[in-house]
Amino acid sequence: MDIIFHSAGANPELWQNALQQAMPEANMRIWHEGDTAPADYALVWKPPAAMLRGRTDLKAIFNLGAGVDAILQLGDALPAGVPVIRLDDAGMGVQMAEFVAHAVLRYFRRLDDYARQNQQQVWRFLTPYEKKDFSIGVLGLGVLGNRIIDALRGFDFPLNGWSRTQKSVTCVNCYAGHDQLDQFLKASKVLVVILPLTTETENLLDREKLALLPKGAYLINVARGAHLIENDLLDLIQEGHIAGATLDVFREEPLAPTHPFWQEPRITLTPHISALTMRDESARQIAAKIQALQAGQAIAGLVDQSRGY
Ligand code: NAP
Ligand code: GLV
């Protein structure tokens, strides 16, 4: 079995080893410009169009991440009829749960306010926030959204969730579709974004939508930067409507040194690290899925290309 590999920024030898362990029978080669030799599968993260154009020999394309926006943006360069398969958790769920729970608790327990007091050697009690006023709204109730909710449930926060199709999740007020988005936002003091980037979710969080959040709301974006109109968030923070944000993703990455987010102390920035692809776990998941495909069995994580995720 021949596998071609491309992952922007990753060490291909380490992937080769992980894959060899998980699938000793596979012959993986690093794809180079001009390589049109036959292959059964492609393993990719942000692949160049030339790698996949016309490759109808592939049985499947495996995305080395959960979000498939970079692959689907290739449009016509994607070989028609070849399934695209995303990673299903593969070690990302627990990282997302850690990252979001940390950001929520930092805001809820006023730890940033105390850190500012520390810098000035101020010993002052701050009025705690009340949990009943602290509903957390999770935009996206998929694989990762559910892991985040499982973690937050343990802290007894009131929870809201929003998805495209109606869901029923224990202890969560579930909202669905655009008709219920405003209601969901009005009810959510902390907004966690864990949606895929699609034509429907791009630019979703503009001034009008963010202003529906209650005064003193907090935003945590761990999905994609293009969900958010960045200047609208900055304006609402500076006007005092939104208290702050933890942002892991941006419209342009790396974030430009001149970007105003760097100068806003109420925004905590991280460089797209909330959930990293775990090499060994992902290689094992992909190997199991290839085995299932070879045996003609159904697998999870098949992307609906018309839906965009
Ligand atoms: P997933 O399992 O496909 O779940 C997506 C969720 O979003 C589903 O609940 C889906 O609704 C909902 N959704 C999609 N379009 C919607 C719309 N138009 N309106 C309302 N809800 C909509 O995806 P996942 O594995 O949880 O991953 C989510 C995203 O996280 C990825 O696409 C990626 O962009 C991002 N991510 C970021 C990092 C990072 O390090 N920052 C790491 C991994 C992933 P239904 O349930 O009704 O289909
Ligand atoms: C990372 O951003 C992913 O989509 O897996």
Report pLDDT digits (tens) over 176-200.
999 999 999 999 999 999 999 999 9
130: Cα within 13 Å, side-chain hemisphere = 2
Is the pLDDT score of 8 beyond 90?
Answer: no
Which CA distances in Å does 266 have to 23, 97, 110, 128, 251? 47, 22, 12, 18, 19
**What pLDDT does 151 receive?**
98
For a mutational test of ligand 2's pocket, the pick from 44, 92, 147, 276, i.e. the residue with the most ligand atoms closer than 8 A to its C-beta, is 92
d(CA 303, CA 74): 14
Residues 100, 227 within the same domain? yes
Q: Is 272 a catalytic residue?
A: yes
Residues 132, 256 within the same domain? yes
Residues 100, 179 within the same domain? yes
Residues 217, 72 within the same domain? no
Q: Is residue 167 situated within a structural domain?
A: yes
Q: Is residue 37 situated within a structural domain?
A: yes
Full residue range of the structural domain in which residue 79 is found: 2-90+277-294
**What pLDDT does 115 receive?**
97
- DSSP assignment letter at 49: H
Q: pLDDT grade, residue 10 (50/70/90)?
A: confident
Pocket lining: 249 vs ligand 1, CB cutoff 6 Å: yes
**What pLDDT does 83 receive?**
98
Residues 247, 262 within the same domain? yes
**What pLDDT does 162 receive?**
98
- Retrieve residue 251's tokens: 């419209």
Residues 19, 159 within the same domain? no
Is the pLDDT score of 46 beyond 90?
Answer: yes
**What pLDDT does 98 receive?**
98
Residues 156, 170 within the same domain? yes
Atom of ligand 2 nearest to the CA of 92: 5
Do residues 158 and 135 lie in contact, with contact meaning Cβ atoms separated by under 8 Å? yes
In 3D, which of 194, 192, 190 has the Cα closest to residue 216? Answer: 190
Mean pLDDT of the region 258-280: 98
Residues 205, 228 within the same domain? yes
Residues 161, 226 within the same domain? yes
Do residues 300 and 90 lie in contact, with contact meaning Cβ atoms separated by under 8 Å? no
Is the pLDDT score of 29 beyond 90?
Answer: yes
Q: Is 106 a catalytic residue?
A: no
For the chain, give the mean pLDDT: 97
Percent of the residues in the chain that have a pLDDT greater than 90, as a whole number? 98
CB crowding 10-39: b at 16 or more within 10 Å, else e: eeeeebbebbeebbeebebeebeeeeeeeb
Q: Is residue 307 situated within a structural domain?
A: no
Pocket lining: 112 vs ligand 1, CB cutoff 6 Å: no
Residues 96, 240 within the same domain? yes
224, 227, 279, 284: which one is catalytic? 224
More confident residue, 12 or 297: 297
Pocket lining: 141 vs ligand 1, CB cutoff 6 Å: yes
Q: Is residue 304 situated within a structural domain?
A: no
* Residue minimizing CA distance to atom 44 of ligand 1: 66
Q: Is residue 177 situated within a structural domain?
A: yes
Q: pLDDT grade, residue 236 (50/70/90)?
A: very high
Is the pLDDT score of 55 beyond 90?
Answer: yes
Q: What is the pLDDT of residues 137-170, one digit of tens each?
A: 999 999 999 999 999 999 999 999 999 999 999 9
Q: Is residue 217 situated within a structural domain?
A: yes
Q: Is residue 172 situated within a structural domain?
A: yes
Overall residue count recorded for the chain in this entry: 309
Residues 65, 107 within the same domain? no
* Residue minimizing CA distance to atom 16 of ligand 1: 164
**What pLDDT does 295 receive?**
97
**What pLDDT does 9 receive?**
83
Q: Is residue 299 situated within a structural domain?
A: no
In 3D, which of 227, 222, 199, 205 has the Cα closest to residue 307? Answer: 199
Residues 283, 260 within the same domain? no
Is the pLDDT score of 266 beyond 90?
Answer: yes
Dihedral of alpha carbons 101, 70, 262, 182, sign: negative
Ligand approaching nearest to the C-alpha of 89: 1
CATH of the domain at 145: 3.40.50.720
Number of domains in the chain: 2
For a mutational test of ligand 1's pocket, the pick from 194, 220, 246, i.e. the residue with the most ligand atoms closer than 8 A to its C-beta, is 194
